[in-house]
Amino acid sequence: MCGICGFTGHRNDQKAVIERMMKSIEHRGPDSEGSFCGGEITLGFRRLSIIDLEDGQQPMESADGNLQIVFNGEIYDYKELRAELEAAGISFRTHSDTEVLVNTIQKYGEKALDKLRGMFGFAVWNEKEQTLMLARDFFGIKPVYYAQIDGHFVFASEIKSILAFPGYKREVNRLALEQYLSFQYSALEETFFKGIYKLMPGHVLIYRDGKYEIKSYFKARLTLGQWEESQENSNVGTRRDENVNELKENNPDMQPLQARLETILDDSVKHHMLSDVEVGAFLSGGVDSGYLAAASGADQAFTVGFDEGNRYNEVEKAAQVAKAAGLRHHVKIISKEEFWNSLPDVMYHMDEPSGDASAVALYFLAQEAAKHVKVVLSGEGADELFGGYNIYREPEALKMVGWIPFGIRRAVGRLAAKLPDVKGRDFLIRAGKKVEERFIGNAYIYGEKEKNQILKGGVTGQTTQEFLKPFYKEIENDRFLEKTDRTKHTHKVCRIEKKSGRDGLGKSHLQDMEKMQSVDLNYWLPGDILQKADKMSMAHSLEVRVPFLDKDVWTLAAGLPKEAKIADGTTKDIFRKAVSKYIPQDTDGRKKLGFPIPIRVWLRQDDWYQMVKELFTSKEAEEFFHTEKLLQLLREHKEGKKDNSRKIWTVLAFLIWHHTFFYKESSERQLQSN
């Protein structure tokens, strides 16, 4: 795990600029640094040594000397790829996955991306062609950002490195704020900093002669109920003609599929344990992290909690899993004061505001783990791949009113919206909406009416539903290989059919639960879950690996029928069964809390109430919000009339982020000038 940065174009101060950019991401790689200053390219690198501790220094050149690479991440099939390249006559100087990666690109070009099994964000300079290639992994585990500044193309693992480039003028992207208030994370391709963009998951960018082209080489698309291998290099699996639905008909408990899932999961964990340093595990007490901690053979596990009772604490549950697996268990209890005092540092490392308060818990979890190990396994992705969120049960619950004509349901829902906040009101409202209207992901903080009430100037860009409409349309029409003026799909995708998901015209389509899962896979997962995992771990120079987000695991999970996910009164049913041998029976059935944060409790206490009130009446708050509306939310929550904790936190996080990157930075520059 490392940090990368760089820029195109000649500058007299190349060395000084790249050193400043590298310094801003030193936390991503405290072990060493390296740079390359060529005629038209400057590359920078900060290293956290994990594999080939002595000889894996970057930037690194290809065997023919034409390519220069800086690479953040891990390639888990690098040994297999190395053997393939050696058979083709390519010799190696090191034992690092970086050297394998750059030579795989030398041999295969962009097609090398289809061969990779891992997490990555990298930049490759081709001296002969004078081109720069940026690439981001399939699911967006590792971040890549870019911008064009005064004729230079600039890129980095973190936004703060681009901010260090001379000539960039900071300006808040208001459109990002508008979507953030609903999603609770930065959902747009353009970040909160105007002119700075994120390279989206599964995309590659080619820069040449002052212009760039972005292509999609992979998209996370569910394959409508049939499992088969969609990648020729997938080396774990079964016969292509085996069908999940056939397995289900012949084996009601789907034992063969469950056994195959066990094999693929265990293989992924094995590959993710490749390291020249010790690997530990995050442990929440849930089935995802419990499986990884036990199956990996790790020696140490790490858990955080709050001293606010069992409702906000999974330490006891995690301790049972750790004891059963024979793990040394490290626990960090976060105090209310520690939580509050960490917020500026958390938002600084996040780069963009995060309305997900669990990012703070993850910050402390990574801090504790980094005292003992340099690498941990974590369970991100299991809920998105295997249908683990309770909201995925909603389509089944709504079937009880499915016999009522939709027009009547919509009318009832509109009437219910005018009622006081009583039991059953939300159900009636959601029953009167199509999934495309009611679901934008696991978080839905502010609706459009609420945003117009609190934002100065109201909503000026797209509504959240308008923003997601093209995506919903694409997955509804099953247009996996659709081309746009910016995007070209080059990967292979399974085009399969599901009898229960076909309309009268014979067109294949997704059911509501699968649509919800697709939104989470493509927006919530990279925008919230993986973003905080990377930024909070790297804040403490800790590498987080996510074995569930593996290409072979995805190949199977993408084709699972709904019955393998929601069944027997539980979510991710087949996954639970596949890993059950690793999880104590008395903990497997308990409700998973994730990273429960006692925000709603603290906001009703005088000290937090006063601190938040002060921020909500600040000049910075007045710049963006109608502060009287913010104070109303705060009062209603304090008095127990409503639970506005998530709405309050989302605005609070933005204000702390803005103060950190704009007000504080401006003050420091003013002091330096004096």
The enclosing H or E element of 572 equals: none
Instruction: Give long-range contacts, CB 8 A cutoff, 24+ apart: 338-344.
Output: 338/364, 339/597, 339/602, 340/608, 340/611, 343/653, 343/656, 344/656, 344/659, 344/660, 344/664
- How many angstroms separate the first and last alpha carbons of the chain? 39
The DSSP code for 591 is P
Residue 135: CB partners within 8 Å, gap ≥ 6?
A: 113, 120, 121, 122, 124, 144, 199, 203, 204, 205, 217
What is the C-alpha separation between 279 and 273, in angstroms, rounded? 7
Task: Supply angle C-alpha 575, 579, 581, rounded to 5.
Answer: 145
> Residue 133's beta-bridge partner residues?
124, 206
Work out the mean pLDDT of the chain and round it to a whole number.
Answer: 87
CATH no. for 2-170: 3.60.20.10
State the average pLDDT over residues 559-582: 91
Q: Is 493 a residue whose pLDDT tops 80? A: no
- CA 184 to each of CA 42, 348, 352, 444, 445: distance values in angstroms, whole numbers, following the listed order: 35, 17, 11, 7, 7
Sheet containing 300-306: give its strands across: 328-334, 300-306, 279-282, 375-377, 543-545
**Which pair of structure tokens corresponds to residue 435?**
């999934």
Q: Is 52 a residue whose pLDDT tops 70? A: no
Residue-wise pLDDT for 435-483, tens only, equals 999 999 989 999 999 999 999 999 999 999 999 999 999 987 754 433 3
- Express as a percent the part of the chain with pLDDT over 70: 86
Residue-wise pLDDT for 342-381, tens only, equals 999 999 999 999 999 999 999 999 999 999 999 999 999 9
Q: Is 672 a residue whose pLDDT tops 50? A: no
Q: Is 506 a residue whose pLDDT tops 70? A: no
Active site residues: 5
State the average pLDDT over residues 164-177: 97
Least confidently predicted of 269-273, 280-284, 475-479 = 475-479
> Residue 28's beta-bridge partner residues?
none
Q: What count of other Cβ atoms lies within 10 Å of the Cβ of residue 325?
A: 22
pTM: 0.90
DSSP string computed for 306-351 = ESS-GGG--HHHHHHHHHHHT-EEEEEEEPHHHHHHHHHHHHHHHS
Helix axes 315-325, 287-295, angle to 10 degrees: 30
The DSSP code for 502 is B
What is the C-alpha separation between 125 and 6, in angstroms, rounded? 10
- 10 Å CB burial of residue 584 (0-12, 13-18, 19+) is middle
> Which amino acid would we find at residue 83?
A
Phi, psi of 207 (to 5 degrees): -110, 130
Residue-wise pLDDT for 93-125, tens only, equals 998 999 999 999 999 999 999 999 999 999 999
Phi, psi of 597 (to 5 degrees): -115, 130
Q: Is 26 a residue whose pLDDT tops 50? A: yes
What is the C-alpha separation between 296 and 280, in angstroms, rounded? 9
Higher-confidence position of 53 and 400? 400
- Whole-number pLDDT of residue 32: 85
Residue-wise pLDDT for 61-88, tens only, equals 999 999 999 999 999 999 999 999 999 9
Calculated CA dihedral for residues 403, 406, 407, 408, nearest 10 degrees: 40
Least confidently predicted of 140-154, 303-317, 637-651 = 303-317
Q: How many CA atoms are closer than 13 Å to the CA of 374, on its beta-carbon side?
A: 18
Domain limits of the chain? 2-170, 599-666
- Whole-number pLDDT of residue 478: 54
